[in-house]
Amino acid sequence: MNSTATDPGRRAVLGGGLAALAAPALLLRAARAADEPIRIGFPTPLTGPFGAEAKDQVRCASLAVAQFNAAGGLNGRMAELLVRDDKLNPGEAATRTLELIEQDHVACIVGSLSSSVQLAVNEVTKARGMLYVSISQSDTITEASDFGRTTFHEALNPHMTAGAVARYVFRPGMKVAILLADYAYGNEMAAGFRRAAAAMGGVEIVLEQKHPFGAADYSTFLPRLRSVKPDVVCICNFGRDQANSIKQAVDFGIKRLARIVVPVLLYNQRLAGSADAFEGVVGGANYYWTIEDRVASAKAFNDAYRAANNGAVPSDYGAYGYSGVRLMLEAMRRAGGVAPDAVIRELEGAHYDTCKGPETMRACDHQAIQSVLILESKAKSAMTSPADLFTVLATEEGKDANLRSCADLGHKT
């Protein structure tokens, strides 16, 4: 009898005790969440063929975080960058992204450096309502089937880049031959050239020659390019393929015959290759350090980078790392917190200038509308310093008309 009487009492004591123990723990947890750092997950291929680009992205992203913290953070809440090596492998990137979300409780993900890897990261983030800023080229990620409301694409895309280069180089009556690496990047870039040629009218694509991704020997493809006697040869490949194919194209005398054009002229690949092979090659870029002469934000970015890296200048893909992280942190500051809905509201349609002049985050597909630089590789004799690689021939300012429309991408408008 006594025991039944004491039972509720014991329960109450136990329950009360547990509650008393739990309450400070819960309060502590709530308090901790407020001054916990804002963690930014940064998957990037530190190992593999794009290692040089990835390492510069890390340097630039760290710079953006340091500047945010030096300016007081988000009401005293500091930011922290968690760099993970995705090994240029979509499966590895997906695993790393899961870890960053589930284990490290990041507030957002920024990064990845290839079409397939960013699509893998995006698949994981969009299912979990996690903010993601992609900083490498892809036409697919903003299409309705892959797009999620937390997906933002800060990089240029092949349609914009190839389009800008084509509008600068192509003239009616020209014959164009395209050499492309047979994977997403090559095909999307070639499609960009094709669409620009069609829009211009009178430009004839006389040959589209595919080569396998990672090819070392181009001697079977180059004679076909020569035989069609083009005015312009567009070489659509990335990284090491670009350096190899341009060098061999020069050896085959293509440069004497036609103008060599690439959609993206990479700072690091030009450094890895030689000035002689690249001389006169024209291509597009999101960033090149000499725009500091006319763009104040580029000057500030370069100066901060120089101070942190012994006077070196940032690369094109490095600039993506900076602008991707800074874009997100500034939106969080404006939103007054890291809640995805509030941050998305701040980002959609936002006008901003992180390091290359004005950009706009298009509301319907979250693509950053921005300028494309048209660069030409300098001759060795014209270089005034080891970092003086290119001449900026023109700047195509960002405008909506240069992007595929949201209706084209499958978005409801």
Partner 1 sequence: MSAPAAAPLPADQPALLLRWRLPLLAAVLATLPWIAPSQALAVNILIYGLYATGFNLLFGYTGLLSFGHAAFLGAGAYGTGIALARLGIGWFGAIAIGVAASGVLAVLIGALSIRSRGIYFSMVTLALAQLVYYIAFQADDWTGGENGLRGLTVSRLRVGPFALDFLNPVVKYYVIFGFVVAALWALSRVLNAPFGAAIEAIRENEGRALACGFDVRRMKLVAFALSGLVCGLAGALDALHLSIVPIDTLYYQTSGLAVMMALLGGAGTFLGPFIGAAIFLLIEDTFSLWTSHWQLFVGAIFILAVLFLPRGVWGSLIAWHQGRRA
The residue (of 92 and 353) whose beta carbon lies closer to partner 1 is 92
Query: Which position among 123, 208, 279, 292 is part of the footprint of partner 1 (CB under 8 A)?
Result: 123
Nearer to partner 1, 24 or 91 (CB): 91
- Residue showing tokens 């309502």: 129
Q: Is 143 in the site for partner 1 (CB under 8 A)?
A: no
Burial of 257 (0-12, 13-18, 19+ CB in 10 A): middle
Collapsing DSSP to helix, strand or coil, 365 comes out as coil
Residue 230 in tokens = 């083009």
Contacts of 33 (CB under 8 A, 6+ apart): none
Sign of CA dihedral 161, 167, 171, 172: positive
To the nearest whole angstrom, how small is the minimum distance from the Cβ of residue 156 to partner 1? 18
Nearer to partner 1 among residue 101 and residue 261 (C-beta) = 101
What is the spatial distance between Cα 36 and Cα 80, in angstroms, rounded to a whole number? 10
Using alpha carbons, select from 129, 174, 179 the residue that is nearest to residue 149: 129
Which of 12, 127, 363, 379 forms a contact with partner 1 (CB under 8 A)?
Answer: 127
By CB under 8 A, tell whether 321 contacts partner 1: no
* Residue recorded with tokens 């892809």: 138
Compare residues 4 and 145 and give the one whose CB is closer to partner 1. Answer: 145
Q: By CB under 8 A, how many residues form the interface with partner 1?
A: 29
The stretch among 17-25, 115-123, 152-160, 164-172 that binds partner 1 (CB under 8 A) is 115-123
Percent composition of the chain: helix, strand, coil (DSSP 3-state, to 5):
45, 20, 35
80 binds partner 1 (CB under 8 A): no
| Cα 294 from chain centroid (whole Å) | 23
CA angle 299, 302, 308 (to 5 degrees): 140
- What is the rounded distance in angstroms from the CA atom of residue 140 to the CA atom of residue 136? 12
CA dist., res. 178 & res. 168, Å (int): 16
Site residues for partner 1, window 181-220 (CB under 8 A)? Answer: 183-184, 213
Q: Supply the minimum distance, in Å, between the C-beta of residue 255 and partner 1.
A: 29
Query: CB 135 → partner 1: shortest distance, Å?
Result: 17
Question: Shortest distance, CB of residue 307 to partner 1, whole angstroms?
Answer: 23
The answer to whether 98 contacts partner 1 (rule: CB under 8 A) is yes
Among 67, 134, 136, 140, indicate the residue that binds partner 1 (CB under 8 A).
Answer: 140
Which string of b and e fits 205-214 if b means at least 16 CB within 10 Å? bebbbbbeee
Strands 151-153, 175-181: pairing is: unpaired
Q: Tell me which of 24, 91, 202, 223 binds partner 1, using CB under 8 A.
A: 91
- For 33, the token pair is 């969440």
The helix (H) or strand (E) run that includes residue 254 is: helix 254-257
- Least distance in Å: CB of 306 to partner 1? 23
Angle at 270 between CA 45 and CA 377, to 5 degrees: 140
Q: How far is the CB of 405 from partner 1 (least distance, A)?
A: 22
Residue 47 in the binding site for partner 1 (CB under 8 A): yes
Please say which residue, 186 or 284, places its beta carbon nearer to partner 1.
186
Regarding 144 and contact with partner 1 (CB under 8 A), the answer is: no
Instruction: Considering only the stretches 83-91, 247-255, 312-320, 397-405, report the one whose residues sit in contact with partner 1 under the rule CB under 8 A.
Output: 83-91
Is 159 among the residues that bind partner 1 (CB under 8 A)? Answer: no
Among 67, 115, 268, 402, binds partner 1 (CB under 8 A): 115
| Binding positions for partner 1, rule: CB under 8 A | 46-47, 55, 84-85, 87, 89-91, 94-95, 98-99, 102-103, 115-116, 119-120, 123-124, 127-128, 140, 145-146, 183-184, 213
